[in-house]
Amino acid sequence: MAHSTHKMTTTSRPFGGRKFRSDGRVLPFPGSTIICHLPQQGDGFEAFDSVLDIYRELPDHAFSKRLAVLPPSSYHMTIIGTATGADRRWPPYVPQQASIEECNFLILERLAALKLECALPIRMTVDLNPQRPQHPISLDLKPLDEQETIKLRHLRKQLADALQLHIPNPDRYTFHLSVAYQMDKMTPEETADYTATMTRWRQEICTRAPVLLFGAPEFCTFKDMFAFRTLFKFQD
């Protein structure tokens, strides 16, 4: 099926990019990444429940038909991406002809030998005033305080150094949690509802879960955006 010819107002990429079809069906998009899943159990579960309420409410809004909604089990915060199979973006020590499986194995070897220095949990909060254009539906996150900011900067540098990854503009990276991808252009009425609803959702999450607690980073592989399989988790 052909992709939509609409363009998003905030980017030149087509709706859904390379990750979804124009009708919302997920596309193959293999790769690997280092993430922190939003915990469903234990300390901090209120954050997951509050984001889950967005998932529950979405069908009530007309703009939801413009979205490809992600399964709640995929909710996470990306720390640093490691490999993208779609365009064979490998770390420099991985042979260009390597498969994604071979690439991920070489990354895994380096991570298993790394003693990560990072006090846990990682404490984040939902950004009530995001500065970047908001793509439905993504919750921008920011470190709770300067101590967490320094911690995350150091964490990403440790991982980037160990894996020989380049981090462009490290101080400008926006942590986020994705709930859905936009598939089609919204009407003016849908846009107004979406804007007001997102503002309310952010405020409700901050009220119910003023601090989002993330545990140890996990090295995950994925075939598409619906599921992230943990191959290695650093010690909590």
What would the pLDDT profile of 102-140 be if each residue is shown by its tens digit?
999 999 999 999 999 999 999 999 999 998 877 778 999
**CATH code assigned at 139:** 3.90.1140.10
The 10s digit of each residue's pLDDT in 126-176 is 999 998 877 778 999 999 999 999 999 999 999 999 999 998 887 789 999
How many angstroms separate the CA atoms of 31 and 33, rounded? 7
Q: How far apart are CA 161 and CA 181, in angstroms?
A: 31
Q: 229 lies in a domain? A: yes
Q: Is the overall model pTM greater than 0.85, yes or no?
A: yes
High-pLDDT (> 90) share of the chain, %: 80
Q: Does a structural domain hold residue 107?
A: yes
Q: What is the pLDDT of residue 22?
A: 83
Q: What is the pLDDT of residue 58?
A: 97
Q: Confirm whether 9 is domain-assigned.
A: no
Flag whether 171 is in a domain: yes
Is the sign of the CA dihedral 75, 33, 79, 178 positive or negative?
Answer: negative
Helix and strand totals (H; E) in the chain: 4, 10
Query: For the chain, how many structural domains are there in total?
Result: 1
Residue 25 domain flag:
no
- Whether residue 133 is contained in a domain is answered as yes
Residue 140 within a domain: yes
Give pLDDT, residue 16: 65
Examine residue 10 and state whether it is found in any structural domain, yes or no. Answer: no
pLDDT digits (tens, 9 = 90+) for 178-218: 999 999 899 999 999 999 999 999 999 999 999 999 999 99
Domain residues for 121?
Answer: 31-233
What pLDDT, in 10s, does the model give residues 48-102? 999 999 999 999 999 999 999 999 999 999 999 999 998 899 999 999 999 999 9
